[in-house]
Structure 1
Amino acid sequence: MITFFDIPGRSEVPYSPNTWKVRLALNIKGIPYRTRYVEVADIESTCKCLGIPPSGKKPTGEPHYTFPAIIDDTVRDNVVKMSDSRPIIEYLDRTYPSGGDHAFFPPRTDIFQTEVQDIILTRILAQAPFLWVLDLYRVKTPRDRQNIKTRMEGKFGKPMDEILVCGEEWQRHWTEVRRAFSEIDRLAHQSANWRSNGPFLLGQRVLYADVVLCALLLCLKTSISDKEWSQIASWNRGRWTRFLDAFQPWIRAEDYQRWKD
């Protein structure tokens, strides 16, 4: 069985967009798995102890350990240990084929999927520290609050509450988020693979890009204010509400236990 590594929090459902990508993929494919929850502060030591490889390198050149991660011991003499969402989901596609409709990387979608992922990373998530750093701080466990505080203050060189912007500066970052969602909407409509009779980016079929976008929306819905979420949900003719509704059968984390002090 697959052991899936996720992050606990104070939110009603898991909050990490990165781990949600893999959880959604597992749920969509119907692959049995168990979840092990590890605080961010313990990710590196846990991965080293279990032999899970790093997902990249830090600016210092040291190994960088992140979640999601999986250990697949279904085949006992070929245990697979992986980290990072995209390689994991590519592995799931290869190892657990479940019909064409649940292949996340169908032919002739690579460029579109990369464009959507880049927009989410460089245009939406790039605004997160300035708009939502305190929201993200609040959904974390006490130890992980200290972790994000140390990282954010080290990165920006100022107290965390001063990283947040307001007034015209807030509006500039918020407008960039809205434009980014509109760009995803435009790309989907212009894609040669687009089909109008479905709720997902290219119609009826769930792609990796859909999973990435759904994971982001779940993080935002879980973490940010109701007022801001309502605005996002209404953008692009209410598309993102319908999009998230279509994922409801797979938005499951039955084993999740909300952190309580």
Structure 2
Amino acid sequence: MIILYDVPMRFPQPWAPNIWRIRLILNYKRLPYRTAWVDFPDIEQTLISVGAPPTSFRPDGRPVYTLPAIVDPFGSPTQPIVLSNPAIIAEYLETSYPARQIFPEGSRAVQSLFVHYVQETFVKPLLPIMVPLTHQRLHERSQTHFPLRAATPQPAGPGAWRAVQEQFDFLAAMMDKNGPPDGDGVVAMGQDLTYADFAVCSVLIWIEKVAPHDGWVRVRQWNGGRWGQLWERCRGYMDVF
């Protein structure tokens, strides 16, 4: 079966949005897989050992290895397919396992731009809140390897959640354009769950797992309860194997 590499908290529970995005796709496509837990200090050596390509390169040319990563033993007739970039993994899974598609015909470019916005803009105000909370829940080895001062450039101030809500309000206004009769206003492509929805829902899961009593209790009610509805739409694909 496919192996999905993930970073645990102090007990094996997934939290990372980029990795949840891939887990949701695997579950949605009903692909058999298992999770391999890797603490931050072990990521580079683990990925090198399985032949994963670097996720990116530093300015000095040194490779950077990050999760998610997958190993698909049936991806090639001669050898396993090993990938380590969430966008590349998503496209690979869609191409190799087209049943229950996440990229409806003609939507790949638009959805890729949508997900880029989620990654680069939508989540930015969340980082000063969520990174310190996540850091507290990591294993001690991972906390030491991933110092908090390097993880977040500024503390969360009184207006932190207000800045987060502004991004949610903007996204809600865009998705309102999918209202009846073209869609239900909850999912990005109008009617069915797609890659874009899994990108947003993975952020919701991060909040629900790491800040259930402060963050999730408020986020799920914003914009008329839209985000709680999207979370519920994805709930059937949140199993962890």
Per the normalisation by structure 1, the TM-score is 0.83
**Higher RCO structure (Cα 8 Å, ≥6 apart):** 1
**Candidates 225, 228, 231, aligned match of 1:241:** 228
**Change over 3 Å in CA distance of 1:188–1:198 after alignment to 2:** closer
Distance in 1 between residues matched to 2:214 and 2:152, nearest whole Å:
27
**Candidates 100, 103, 106, aligned match of 1:105:** 103
- Residue 233 of structure 2 aligns with an amino acid whose one-letter code is A
**Change over 3 Å in CA distance of 1:137–1:50 after alignment to 2:** same
Partner SS, residue 102 of structure 2: coil
Q: Which residue does 1:206 correspond to in 2? A: 193
Distance in 2 between residues matched to 1:192 and 1:113, nearest whole Å:
18
Cα RMSD, aligned residues only: 2.4
CA displacement at 1:6 relative to structure 2: 1.2
Say which is worse superposed, 17-26 or 183-192, in terms of deviation.
Answer: 183-192
CA displacement at 1:240 relative to structure 2: 0.5
**Change over 3 Å in CA distance of 1:234–1:112 after alignment to 2:** farther
The size of the alignment, in residue pairs, is: 240
Q: Which residue does 1:68 correspond to in 2? A: 68
Distance in 2 between residues matched to 1:90 and 1:193, nearest whole Å:
30
Partner SS, residue 66 of structure 1: coil
Q: Which residue does 2:92 correspond to in 1? A: 91
2:223 pairs with 1:222 = no
Distance in 2 between residues matched to 1:12 and 1:44, nearest whole Å:
19
Distance in 1 between residues matched to 2:181 and 2:140, nearest whole Å:
44
* Contact in 1 for aligned 2:15/2:206 (Cα 8 Å): yes
Partner SS, residue 103 of structure 1: coil
CA displacement at 1:140 relative to structure 2: 1.1
**Candidates 127, 144, 147, aligned match of 1:146:** 144
CA displacement at 1:22 relative to structure 2: 0.9
Distance in 2 between residues matched to 1:240 and 1:192, nearest whole Å:
15
Q: Which residue does 1:123 correspond to in 2? A: 121
Partner SS, residue 113 of structure 1: helix
* Contact in 2 for aligned 1:116/1:184 (Cα 8 Å): no
* Contact in 1 for aligned 2:131/2:152 (Cα 8 Å): no
**Change over 3 Å in CA distance of 1:59–1:81 after alignment to 2:** same
CA displacement at 1:20 relative to structure 2: 0.7
- Residue 213 of structure 1 aligns with an amino acid whose one-letter code is V
Q: Which residue does 2:52 correspond to in 1? A: 52
The percentage of aligned residue pairs carrying the same residue is 27
In structure 1, runs of 5+ residues without a counterpart are 158-162, 256-261
- Residue 176 of structure 1 aligns with an amino acid whose one-letter code is A
Say which is worse superposed, 110-119 or 127-136, in terms of deviation.
Answer: 110-119
Partner SS, residue 8 of structure 2: coil
**Change over 3 Å in CA distance of 1:181–1:43 after alignment to 2:** same
Q: Which residue does 1:39 correspond to in 2? A: 39
Q: Which residue does 1:160 correspond to in 2? A: none
CA displacement at 1:217 relative to structure 2: 0.6
Q: Deviations over 1:137-195 (max 9, x none)?
A: 1221111111221xx424767xxxxx32323xxx1x42232121122222223359983
Partner SS, residue 10 of structure 1: coil
Q: Which residue does 1:186 correspond to in 2? A: 173
**Change over 3 Å in CA distance of 1:51–1:28 after alignment to 2:** same
**Change over 3 Å in CA distance of 1:194–1:46 after alignment to 2:** farther
